[in-house]
Chain A
Amino acid sequence: MTATAARPALAAASVPLPASRRRRWLRRYGLASLGAAIILAWILVALLAPLILPYLPDTVEVTKRLQPPEAAHWLGTDALGRDDLTRLLYGARISLSTGFIVVVVGAVFGTLLGGIAAYARGAVEELIMRATDLVLCFPPIILALAIAAALGIGTTNTIIAMLVVWWPKFARLARSLVLVQRSHEYVEAATVVGLTPARILLRHIIPNAIGPLVVLVTLDVGNAIITFAGLSFLGLGVVPPTPEWGSMVAEGRELVEQWWVAAFPGLAILTIVLGFNFLGDGIRDWLDPKARRR
């Protein structure tokens, strides 16, 4: 996947292009590249936060409460006098890591279950797919909210609650993809050679079916970040004083005069989710020539 994506990008970088070709490159890969750049920038900032910031995320300075953006505090300070920029950049660590964990673990579980369902057929398939339907008949945010409330506040518990509602869409997609692959001759060949079903599924079928799953995963990290921030906003995600974007918006919710407290963390969520959506959109265009925008 990455190899095919890199080839046109490399060509574009090494050979000076005529204007029309450059425009076409921009139209085809511009949005996705922008998305990837935004995501990379956020990852970099999250990793380097301790090096580039003069403050710590939980240093309280009571005399500096609710300062508007200024030279010493670029994004102002919150109700406890903590530096908002510092909390914002440290917050990127929580949002990015929870987003990736939920989507990757959810995707692995869902793909395995969906793959097993499609490969085994019969009662196993029926059981797995009905369980999938059952979870999908709840609105995700409400079910996650109920489970998170039951488990108690905390990052791990919220991730678990999200995972419970996250795997079904991957299971559905994986099942349909594996069903298609299953009828191919190479599966028959692998069976004749005497490979075990687990090996056929994991080493042969799933690698061939993975393209659309990658798109869903990319698009979904943004969703997971928004959902986690939302649960945090509702008071169920992180335990204070952990800097997290959703809970930062919640802390500034009543402060309409001191708009910066809530505005910037939300803007951070918007940019990172936009990044994932740009990238996901672009990848979908490459993989699906019919939907490609010429």
Chain B
Amino acid sequence: MLRYVVSRLGLSVVMALLATLVIFLIANTVPGDPVLAQLGDVAASNKEFVAAWRAKYGLDLPLWERYFVFLKGLVHGDLGISIASQRPVLDDIEQFAPATLELASVGFLLALVVGIPLGIIAAVRRDSWIDHLARLVSLVGVSSPTFWLAFIMLALFYGGLQVAPGPGRLDPIAFPPPTVTGLYLVDTALAGDWAAFRDALAHLILPSLVLAAATLGLLTRTTRASMLESMQQDYVRMARAKGLSEWRVILGHVLPNALIPVVTLGGLAYANLLTGAVMTETVFSWPGLGRYTFTSAAALDFPAIMGITLIVAVTYLVINLLIDISYALMDPRVVR
């Protein structure tokens, strides 16, 4: 087991290093000249000034040397300076990450709480109306463009029916709670400010629903397929033959085994929620990493885009590592 974990960990580190190389190559071999992008026309026409500027940012060094400079910066937690905000990219990311973490976690919870039971019922009552409904819900969930779904929800529940609060994490005139974790639900609760807690929760509902839609579809489908598969196993027939009640059989024997692929998919889905909030956050003016990604891309703020891509790739790798390890714990055959 330990050997398996260590080898998976080693592989992840190698992949992370290679990921930095990919990021570096994209950032440094693009057709656009950073000089023109960052200096004005007048400054760019002055040759001496350009040379000095290139030297200042190390752009006159050969590519491989620049890569080592880049790596050295990374080791010291330096992802460069965002052109748009003029702050270190890492500071920006630290500021925006909690909002995304909160949104993605609530969305994931929603998808789990609805998707898994729906998948179980669909499998147990196979070909009934609820199975067909589950199939439709999951297909529509997977097929809806997130950015559009976000718009529709806002237009309908905020603009039209006026039952939901507007974009943002809190009422525009409310003060954010004192920052402890950056998660408003936790921070308002810690401060004992229950009105603000309710406000934060109300603002979370629509965006997390939107974010959960696709994941919910995937979870429902995977749970259903996996349940159907394990319902045909011999130990299930055995459990039935023993005379256990149908729900005992389903929940006690079928479900635990059926959940293994769901865990893998769930982990990946969570990673996707953390990183895939770009559209949702943009439409809901949610001040998280997703919206930061969007504003950086729109402004062609290269250091910021590269910083986010790297952070996100590392998050992905870590979650994948955790999935593999939990997989090995649940199913010892994996380790061999």
Contact = CB atoms under 8 A, between A and B. Distances in A.
A and B are partners in one complex rather than unrelated chains: yes
B148 A262 contact: yes
Given A142-B308, A233-B279, A226 B271 contact: no
A147 interface: yes
Contact of A149 (B279, B283, B305, B320): B305
Instruction: Describe A's contact surface by its main secondary structure.
Output: helix
A281 interface: yes
Interface in A229-244: 229-230, 233-236
- Which of under 10, 10 to 19, 20 to 34, or 35 or more describes the interface residues of A? 35 or more
A146 B307 CA distance: 10
Interface in B241-273: 271-272
Interface string A258-294: 0100110111011001100110010000000001011
A262 B151 contact: yes
Contact of A137 (B31, B146, B278, B316): B316
A213 interface: no
B144 interface: yes
Given A139-B271, A147-B26, A256 B309 contact: no
Contacts of A13: none
A230 B145 contact: yes
Contact of B152 (A230, A236, A263): A263
Contacts of B154: 256
A257 interface: yes
Interface stretch (B48-56, B72-80, B97-105, B290-298): B290-298
A8 B297 CA distance: 50
B5 interface: no
B335 interface: no
B147 interface: yes
B139 A278 contact: yes
Which of A148, A266, A277 has the largest number of chain B CB atoms within 10 A?
A: A266
B278 A249 contact: no
A134 B317 CA distance: 10
B147 A249 contact: yes
Given A137-B317, A145-B297, A246-B145, A281 B306 contact: no
Q: Which 9 A-B pairs have the closest CB atoms?
A: A266-B148, A256-B159, A150-B30, A273-B143, A139-B275, A274-B143, A233-B147, A269-B145, A146-B309
Interface of A: 130, 133-134, 137-139, 141-143, 145-152, 222, 226, 229-230, 233-236, 246, 249-250, 252-253, 256-257, 259, 262-263, 265-267, 269-270, 273-274, 277-278, 281, 291, 293-294
Given A234-B297, A256-B154, A267-B148, 6 more contacts: A146-B306, A150-B302, A226-B143, A263-B155, A266-B147, A277-B142
